[in-house]
Structure 1
Amino acid sequence: MQATTLADQLQRRHPAAVLFDMDGTLVDSEKLWAVALRELAARYGGALSEETRKAIIGTSMADSMRMLHDALGQPERDPAVSAAWINARILELFRTGLSWRPGALALLQAVRDAAIPTALVTSSGRPLVEVALDTLGRDSFDVVVCGDEVEAGKPHPEPYLTAARLLGVPIERCVAIEDSATGVASAVAAGAAVLAVPAEVPLPVTEGVHQLESLTAADLELLAALLDRRSAAR
């Protein structure tokens, strides 16, 4: 009988899939969203506070617009109208180019090289994601779940449950990678192991959620260990 190698052991411990958030996790796009939101607030005769900008991170488009309107003291505005303006402006900004978050491209490539299924699970709508995929790579993900393709967005578990279902893998054997409290809540509620890498806003310590300062410290062994630790805690 051949001796089991470390590589063989790691292969058996690999996640069934790795589920990646997009904005702030893979690409440094939150700053572009801030630009668009500030411009829209100015069009409405107001200003976007830093508190509101940070609270909006990771929320669905509809919720984001309602939060912006409320912060401006204009709750009567139609979220759909504001969302249409934001979507058009952010498309322009995305086309100017997106930069990868530290360590994100290397980790994504390592996961793909190991033949581990991947999903992109984002609150952004499909038209915007199609532009982002020019940077991320259209063959980087086996499944893409967009915010306008689910009935309930993050922090509801539906986006991550949908990704696991489409991949045909148990969510309990998946690792989700997120940067926002809303996204972390969605992944935890779905039942995935979670790696949190805060981008714009510090995240509270959450039981069972592993935090890193950046994805430069993440590798396949860490992803496998996250599942091992959770199994041992059960």
Structure 2
Amino acid sequence: MLFDMDGTLVDSEKLWDIALEELAVSYGGTLSAAARRAIIGTSMAESMRILHADLDQPHRDPARSAAWVDARILELFRTGLRWRPGALALLGAVRAARIPTALVTSSGRALVEVALDTLGRDSFDVVVCGDEVDSTKPHPEPYLTAARLLGVPIDRCVAIEDSATGVASAVAAGAAVLAVPAEVPLDPIDGVRQLADLTGADLDLLGALLGAPTSDPR
């Protein structure tokens, strides 16, 4: 099992809204709704490029902006991180079944370490962070890396994602994909099952996505 984090397991996109809008205001502007949608699921570097372009301030230092957002989002994660509907129950069922499980996120390691205080450090056998791969989502490398570290063929893995960027990464890697869009609706994609959230999702559903015995969705 391969889980995305932001918007999939935890309702963190609203916290990113706060941090990104505060940064935009500090630069004398306002982040547009279109730019905010475009940022969802991207790497920090790409997020800052989109934000700067949206504010018509391409001269801004992306590393400095990223450092500001990192610091602010760490504060917000420590106090305001909440589970998405059904996510905790599904993750618990997967772990109880002893299914190899990875967290595959575009967020950096420092932020993920804070999130793991909520998610549980024993909830995942492998954690792949955005600053630990050469190419981030939508490139397939994050999901391919997670499957390799788990020792499970990628075509025997189910990836759960909320964003178009994440879905593209998982599909390109060759995983079966369950999409649970949070902030932005997703267009239908051949072969990708969509649910409003993870409420009611169970091992039978995950197994069916693989066309495999329901007791062994990886």
The answer, yes or no, to whether TM exceeds 0.5 is: yes
Deviation at 1:206, TM superposition (A): 0.3
Instruction: Give 1:209's aligned residue.
Output: 192
Deviation at 1:51, TM superposition (A): 1.2
**1:153-196 Cα deviation digits (max 9, x unpaired):** 00000000000011111000000000000000000000000000
Contiguous gaps of at least 5 residues in structure 1:
1-17, 230-234
1:188 correspondence with 2:171: yes
Deviation at 1:97, TM superposition (A): 3.1
Number of aligned residue pairs = 212
Aligned letter for 2:182? A
1:67 correspondence with 2:54: no
CA distance in 2 between partners of 1:217 and 1:211 (Å): 13
Instruction: Give 1:228's aligned residue.
Output: 211
State the TM-score, normalizing by the size of structure 1: 0.90
CA distance in 2 between partners of 1:122 and 1:156 (Å): 12
**1:23-43 Cα deviation digits (max 9, x unpaired):** 000000000000000000011
State the TM-score, normalizing by the size of structure 2: 0.96
Instruction: Give 2:81's aligned residue.
Output: 98
Maintained 8 Å contact 2:15/2:80:
no
Instruction: Extract structure 1 runs of 4+ deviating beyond 2 A.
Output: none
Question: Structure 2 matches for 1:12-31, cutoff 5 A?
Answer: 18-31=1-14
* Structure of larger gyration radius: 1
Question: Structure 2 matches for 1:79-90, cutoff 5 A?
Answer: 79-90=62-73
What percent of counterpart residues are identical? 81
CA distance in 1 between partners of 2:192 and 2:203 (Å): 17
CA distance in 1 between partners of 2:141 and 2:166 (Å): 11
Contiguous gaps of at least 5 residues in structure 2:
213-218
Instruction: Give 1:129's aligned residue.
Output: 112
Deviation at 1:46, TM superposition (A): 0.6
Q: Secondary structure at the match of 2:188?
A: coil
Give the root-mean-square deviation of aligned CA atoms: 0.8
Instruction: Give 1:151's aligned residue.
Output: 134
CA distance in 1 between partners of 2:151 and 2:75 (Å): 35
Deviation at 1:217, TM superposition (A): 2.6
Instruction: Give 2:95's aligned residue.
Output: 112
Q: Secondary structure at the match of 2:211?
A: helix
Q: Secondary structure at the match of 1:215?
A: coil
